[in-house]
Structure 1
Amino acid sequence: MGQGHGHGISPAQATSASSKHIKRLWIAAALGLVTFVTQVVVGLSTSSLALLSDSAHVFTDVFGILMAVTAILVARRASRRSDRTFGMYRGEVFAALFNAILLFAVAGWVLYEAIDRISAPPEVPGLPVTIVALVGLAMNVIAFLLLRNGAAESINVRGAYLEVMADMLGSVGVLASGLITMLFGWRYADPVIGVAIGLFVLPRAYSLGRGALRILFQHAPERLDLPQVIAELKAIPGVQDAHDLHVWTLTSGMEVATAHLVITAKAEPDTVLAEARNLLAVKHHLDHATLQVESAAAAGRCHELSW
């Protein structure tokens, strides 16, 4: 009987929130890169496991920020082709999955090295580690302040903001390791803090990988209760039944929904479509929804499909 297709935002607005903050994202990535290089150089020269483990963490965070920038640039410049109906947004998801695998590898290496060092911890000079930790902390605070406002407007910027926040915690851990070693000469401080940072990375890696796989397998967003959404669609005046509801994610912040609505003979299709689109957009933040309105006679064909 009819179809409705709704967008909560115009194509021109699709990347505008992130684009406004792209320069700040570049600055945050540059600050992170400076921190990473400094930690690697000093970490190798002092044999500090805490510095090396945090440098791996910083590297993955810089990688995540650069992926946010890449997503903005691709969305801004990618040409529209008839065979790319959903653009190239999934590239960001594949990058996130690769990032998660990298995080697991880094955390595994750190834990292995820490166990090996527990029996005979090397002597790590506390002063260089403390200085580098203070530099890293300063860099993270600057990036944190740069991205704070953008995090409220863009999910891309919010992801980078959370990465920087996690980096600050890592810098605090390294700082504690340097101070304890410098003040008390406790040689176990470095491997213990290294293990703590490695264990801190693991749940983030699991969460990131799990989220990427959910998107790649086209699972519905975890925040949605699909039976409840179906019940709400059925409750719309004039709707006799709702079925074939599918919700999936292209990439973070871009969710798509489709559904079939069976309406009564007296219902006005345009009115039903408007109410259904409003329900999905306002209550469930599904701004990109394609809805098919059909009569009871036509609806039976949908149920014949086994998948």
Structure 2
Amino acid sequence: MTLGFAAVEAMAGWWSGSLALLGDAGHMLTDSLALALATAASILARRPSSPRHTYGLRRVETLAGMLNGLFMLFVVALIAWHAIERLITPQPVEAGTVIGVAALGLAINVIVAWMLSRGEGDLNTRAALLHVFGDLLGSVAALASGIVILYTGWYPADPLLSMLICGLILASTLKLLRVATHTLLEGVPDNLSLGAIGHAMAEVEGVHSIHDLHVWSLDSNHVALSAHVVLHSSQAWPTSLVALQRLLAEQFDIHHATLQPEPLPGQIVTFSSRPPGPKSAASPPPGSR
């Protein structure tokens, strides 16, 4: 839908002389590529883990989101550059054509945005939705510029509204890129506090303290945690482990946790890999030959 209408909008923009339509057509063309990239990333992210990728390919969605965000920066810069040219040298615009095509584009973008909004809220889908939302705003700008030109004849309305939409898209794109970069750098998710998690874990019965605590995002929907747990008594570990896992799942929505138990300094470690086997009847008593 997006790719087909991009061709229609490009021809209409060239015929009418509307930068808003031409810019929106270019934006919709890049969005078609972005949606294709997001679809491929979503398929790859569902592949199971392997000996080479033990977490699977979940980060592909984040990479796709980042690439789409960088693509958006290029589109915004291109539209802004052409808008400045039009402000310096205003050109006539066929307002009636702009209004008709922009209204059709707005309807198509609303349908596509509705379809995407029903999907998963991961970074990949958010990036794709950002592209479509940018198209939607572009259609609104083109429609508004056509109406202004039709009733006032003020041609600078076309590039000015294009620059306004560029500013709105730029703010959302930078936010998306920040989240994608933070995920790829394995930062603590914005909705979680490392200190709050550590203090909550340390309050579990049988736990003395927590150290080497790490929390990071595997993707937009999965958080992983690893920590060293110092115990008051090593015999309490089975009970403490269950309590810690329940705490992390229920309070922080962390379901992938790797916890390493440690005794207090000076304690005798009583963990063993397997229980001792029975003595053999044929074994000689200690001290005998």
Say whether the fold is shared (TM-score over 0.5): yes
Structure 1 residue runs without a partner (length 5+): 1-30, 300-307
Tell me, yes or no, if structure 1 residue 105 matches structure 2 residue 74.
Answer: yes
Q: Does 1:175 align with 2:143?
A: yes
The equivalent position to 2:216 in structure 1, one of 248, 259, 278, is: 248
Partner of residue 227, structure 2: 259
Partners of 1:104 and 1:261 in 2: CA distance: 45
Partner residue in 2 for 1:119: 88
Alpha carbons 1:245, 1:258 under 8 Å: kept: yes
- Higher RCO (C-alpha under 8 Å, 6+ residues apart): 1
Taking the aligned partners of 1:260 and 1:266, their CA distance within structure 2 comes to 13
* Residue number in structure 2 paired with 1:89: 58
Conserved in 2, the CA contact under 8 Å of 1:50 and 1:197? Answer: no
Judge which range, 181-190 or 262-271, deviates more: 262-271
Asked which structure has the greater CA Rg, the reply is 2
Alpha-carbon distance in 2 for matches of 1:254, 1:41: 44
SS of the residue corresponding to residue 260 of structure 2 reads strand
**Aligned CA-pair RMSD:** 2.5
Contact 1:57 1:201 in 2 (8 A): no
Which residue does the alignment assign to 1:19?
none
1:35 equivalent in alignment to 2:5: yes
User: Does 1:281 find its partner at 2:257?
Assistant: no
Instruction: Quote the offset at 1:118 in angstroms.
Output: 1.0
Which residue matches 1:140? 109
State which of 30, 36, 53 in structure 2 corresponds to 1:66: 36
**Whole-angstrom CA distance in 2 between matches of 1:125 and 1:242:** 68
1-structure distance, mates of 2:169, 2:133: 13
Unaligned runs of 5+ in 2: 268-289
CA contact 1:181–1:189 (8 Å) conserved in 2 = yes
Residue identity matched to 1:169: L
- The CA distance in 2 between the partners of 1:162 and 1:104, in whole Å, is 12
- Answering whether residue 194 of structure 2 is matched by residue 194 of structure 1, we say no
| Cα distance in structure 2, aligned partners of 1:258 and 1:144 | 38
What is the percentage of aligned positions where both structures have the same residue?
A: 34
CA distance in structure 1 between the aligned counterparts of 2:198 and 2:71, rounded to whole angstroms: 39
Which amino acid in structure 1 is aligned with residue 19 of structure 2?
L
Which of structure 1's runs of 4+ aligned residues deviate more than 4 A? Answer: 156-163
How far does the alpha carbon of each residue in 1:127-170 deviate from its partner, in whole angstroms, 9 at most, with x for none?
2211111111111222244344x34x653656545554443333
Question: Normalised by the size of structure 1, how large is the TM-score?
Answer: 0.77
Alpha-carbon contact 1:39-1:55 (below 8 Å) kept: yes
Which structure has the highest helix share of the two? Answer: 1
Q: Distance in 1 between matches of 2:240 and 2:224?
A: 19
